[in-house]
Amino acid sequence: MRVATCPGCGKQLKAENDEELLKQGRQHAQEAHADQNLSDDQIKAIVAQSAHDE
């Protein structure tokens, strides 16, 4: 299991792999941080920096 933490609100996202984390990160960004207009590259960077094994 892989885990990444949103730097904006601290929510933990969990998934089987980094690709699934990226999907969850996109969804979370749209739902919780839509006002920030995060790009896909920004979301990828956040996942790459914070993802780790649980």
Instruction: Taking the CA atoms of 46, 22, 12 and 51 in sequence, report the sign of the dihedral they define.
Output: negative
- The dihedral formed by the CA atoms of 27, 7, 19 and 2, expressed in degrees to the nearest 10: -120
Residue ranges in the chain whose pLDDT is less than 70: none
CA 10 from centre of chain: 10
pLDDT for residue 15: 97
Q: What range does the domain containing 47 cover?
A: 2-53
pTM equals: 0.89
pLDDT for residue 10: 97
Neighbouring C-alpha atoms within 13 Å toward the C-beta of 36: 15
The domain total for the chain is 1
